């Protein structure tokens, strides 16, 4: 669930202003071979390399280090004085979705799938790119104890929906605990029956009930498959159930649970319910009281994806503290900082940096909050999250240290292609404005031309150009009938 707008009072990022012109998707440069030279390379896994270079070949990082030679035919990016970090990963995003991010009517909406409604034309993709984000975990909203199916995408602006999903990433499902699913901040219009559940107890019961059904469903299929394999004829197969199948996948470890939560008690509840049904929660999202039970979360194997410093915007957020990320990190939880918001996603570098002030994380650990850690949480750290040979060429290049408020993204690359280039963006603004004005003028002109010829249509009905005796003829003939 997105937070209320009034919460989003935020330092206006340079990136926000940058993309106001809303440029159309442009074909990203052919990857081929790219050498980024003379930058401060913040690898995340093995320190910073001053005056370092990164060689990307066919979309993958081929070499990282000092004094890399320029291979023949390589495009060279001179990044002197600039900083390169792994592309930012937003572990909680609602961008690029057509229609509502909530299927809110049923308490269990797992038949809804974000993958069905990806919208590659959402301008927020481009805006996120301008903030250095290359990968986002696109989540269903938090209206239901068990929400819809979710998907990890790469922000390949200009590509069709089918090319957004992060290849091989384990799909997810959204759960939600607390005030949103029990709808305590929600007035149901008259005549509409209130939805169950209305309490945290009810939220737990709904989840337990759904998994009980899913277990029974799985049993039906196992039984059917067994009997079929044994050669029993004329079996009627069980019905497919789009709601329960994702839950079976959760129990089989084929689908990650990303659970929206705030309070320590509800988090503990979900850990217990998950144990009961033999699955693991992959990430606790928001997890504002995670610092209270960091050991338990760490022991459960779940990650924590939290806000940097938001609190007290509703009852269940009163105990939130900006030290949450640092405290959980200290206790061994894999922690990420997420945006939950298209605007905030453009400054996740700053959100990460806040944990240096609140909790004293090292610069590298702070950077991990938006790179390697969310990659681990999403099970894609073999591909992204750090600048290592063999990983995807997903990078963000800043003009300043990305952990400073002065840092502005210069280029964002995915699979070795440049998907955002600040200089190009600036350069094409005038052209886009011109195109827009031309289209506006054209419409205006067409409307003005249309006005005069609307009048003839309203002319009084014309008399039929027929001879007067026609009627008489007609009568004569009819008379003959």
Q: Out of 34, 101, 257, 387, which residue is the one contacting other proteins (CB under 8 A)?
A: 101
Tell me the per-residue interface mask from 436 to 475 with other proteins, x by CB under 8 A, - otherwise. Answer: x--xx-xx-------------x---xx-xxxx--x--xxx
CA atoms within 13 Å, Cβ hemisphere of 300: 27
Stretch (H or E) spanning 270: helix 264-277
Tell whether residue 239 is a contact of other proteins (CB under 8 A). Answer: yes
Q: Out of 31, 86, 87, 104, which residue is the one contacting other proteins (CB under 8 A)?
A: 104
Is the CB of 162 or the CB of 423 nearer to other proteins? Answer: 162
Is the CB of 50 or the CB of 435 nearer to other proteins? Answer: 435
Tell whether residue 119 is a contact of other proteins (CB under 8 A). Answer: yes
Q: How far does the chain reach from its first CA to its final CA, in angstroms?
A: 76
Cα gap 20→283, rounded to integer Å: 33
Which range in 4-12, 62-70, 103-111, 208-216 contacts other proteins by CB under 8 A? 103-111
For the bound state, the minimum distance from the C-beta of residue 76 to other proteins, rounded and expressed in Å, comes to 32
Contacts for 245 with CB less than 8 Å, ≥ 6 apart: 217
Cα gap 183→185, rounded to integer Å: 5
Is the CB of 80 or the CB of 239 nearer to other proteins? Answer: 239
Closest listed residue to residue 103, CA positions, set 117, 119, 87, 83? 117
Tell me the per-residue interface mask from 9 to 48 with other proteins, x by CB under 8 A, - otherwise. Answer: -------------x-x------------------------
Q: Out of 37, 40, 109, 338, which residue is the one contacting other proteins (CB under 8 A)?
A: 109
Cα gap 165→153, rounded to integer Å: 4
Q: Which long-range contacts (CB under 8 A, 24 or more apart) does 25-30 make?
A: 25/121, 25/126, 25/157, 25/158, 25/159, 26/158, 26/424, 26/428, 27/158, 28/156, 28/157, 28/158, 28/414, 28/417, 28/418, 28/419, 29/75, 29/417, 29/418, 30/417
Tell me the per-residue interface mask from 240 to 259 with other proteins, x by CB under 8 A, - otherwise. Answer: xxxx----------------
Grouping H, G, I as helix, E, B as strand and the rest as coil, residue 258 is strand
Tell whether residue 139 is a contact of other proteins (CB under 8 A). Answer: no
Tell me the per-residue interface mask from 198 to 237 with other proteins, x by CB under 8 A, - otherwise. Answer: ------------------------------------xxxx
Grouping H, G, I as helix, E, B as strand and the rest as coil, residue 96 is coil
Tell whether residue 295 is a contact of other proteins (CB under 8 A). Answer: no
Is the CB of 73 or the CB of 189 nearer to other proteins? Answer: 189
Tell whether residue 357 is a contact of other proteins (CB under 8 A). Answer: no
Report the b/e string of 353-391 with b at 16+ CB within 10 A. Answer: bbbbebbebeebbbbbbbbbbbbbbbbbbebbbbbbeeb
**408 touches 14 (CB < 8 A):** yes
Cα gap 37→55, rounded to integer Å: 9
For the bound state, the minimum distance from the C-beta of residue 84 to other proteins, rounded and expressed in Å, comes to 31
Is the CB of 314 or the CB of 429 nearer to other proteins? Answer: 429
Is the CB of 27 or the CB of 239 nearer to other proteins? Answer: 239
Tell whether residue 106 is a contact of other proteins (CB under 8 A). Answer: yes
Tell whether residue 477 is a contact of other proteins (CB under 8 A). Answer: yes
Tokens of 340: 């939950």
Name the residues that contact other proteins, by CB under 8 A. 22, 24, 97-106, 109, 111-114, 116-117, 119-121, 123, 140, 143, 148, 160-162, 188-189, 192-193, 195, 234-237, 239-243, 432, 435-436, 439-440, 442-443, 457, 461-462, 464-467, 470, 473-478, 480-481
């Amino acid at each position: 669930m997105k937070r209320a707008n009034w919460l989003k009072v935020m330092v206006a990022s340079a990136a926000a202003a940058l993309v106001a012109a809303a440029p159309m998707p442009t074909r990203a440069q052919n990857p081929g071979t790219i050498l980024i030279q003379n930058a401060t390379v913040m690898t995340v896994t093995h320190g910073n390399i001053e005056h370092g270079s990164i060689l990307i070949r066919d979309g993958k990082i081929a070499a990282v280090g000092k004094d890399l030679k320029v291979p023949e035919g390589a495009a060279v990016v001179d990044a002197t004085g600039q900083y390169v970090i792994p592309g930012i990963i937003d572990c909680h995003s609602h961008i690029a979705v057509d229609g509502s991010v909530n299927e809110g009517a049923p308490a269990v909406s797992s038949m809804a799938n974000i993958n069905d409604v990806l919208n590659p034309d959402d301008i927020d993709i481009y805006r996120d790119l301008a903030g250095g984000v290359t990968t986002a975990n696109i989540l269903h909203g938090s209206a239901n104890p068990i929400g819809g199916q979710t998907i990890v995408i790469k922000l390949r602006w200009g590509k069709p929906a089918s090319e957004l999903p992060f290849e091989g990433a384990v799909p997810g499902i959204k759960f939600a605990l607390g005030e949103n699913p029990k709808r305590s901040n929600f007035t149901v219009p008259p005549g509409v029956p209130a939805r169950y559940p209305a309490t945290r107890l009810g939220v737990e019961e709904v989840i337990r009930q759904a998994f009980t059904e899913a277990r029974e469903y799985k049993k039906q299929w196992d039984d059917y498959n067994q009997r079929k394999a044994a050669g029993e004829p004329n079996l009627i197969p069980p019905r497919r159930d789009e709601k329960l199948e994702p839950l079976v996948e959760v129990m089989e470890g084929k689908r990650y649970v990303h659970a929206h939560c705030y309070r320590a008690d509800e988090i503990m509840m979900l850990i217990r319910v998950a144990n009961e049904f033999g699955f693991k929660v992959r990430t606790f999202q928001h997890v504002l009281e995670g610092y209270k039970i960091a050991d338990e979360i760490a022991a459960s194997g779940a990650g924590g994806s939290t806000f940097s410093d938001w609190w007290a915007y509703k009852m269940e957020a009163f105990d939130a503290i900006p030290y949450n990320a640092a405290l959980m990190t200290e206790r061994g939880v894999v922690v990420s900082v997420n945006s939950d918001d298209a605007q905030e996603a453009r400054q996740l570098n700053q959100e990460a940096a806040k944990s240096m002030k609140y909790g004293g994380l090292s610069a590298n650990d702070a950077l991990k909050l938006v790179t390697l850690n969310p990659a681990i949480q999403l099970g894609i750290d073999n591909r992204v999250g750090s600048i290592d040979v063999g990983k995807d060429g997903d990078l963000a290049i800043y003009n300043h240290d990305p952990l400073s408020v002065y840092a502005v993204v210069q280029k964002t690359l995915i699979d070795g292609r440049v998907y955002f280039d600040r200089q190009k963006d600036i350069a094409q603004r005038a052209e886009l404005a011109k195109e827009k004005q031309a289209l506006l003028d054209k419409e205006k002109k067409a409307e003005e031309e249309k006005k005069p010829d609307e009048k003839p249509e309203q002319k009084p009905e014309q008399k039929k150009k027929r001879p007067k005796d026609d009627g008489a003829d007609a009568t004569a003939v009819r008379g003959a009938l």
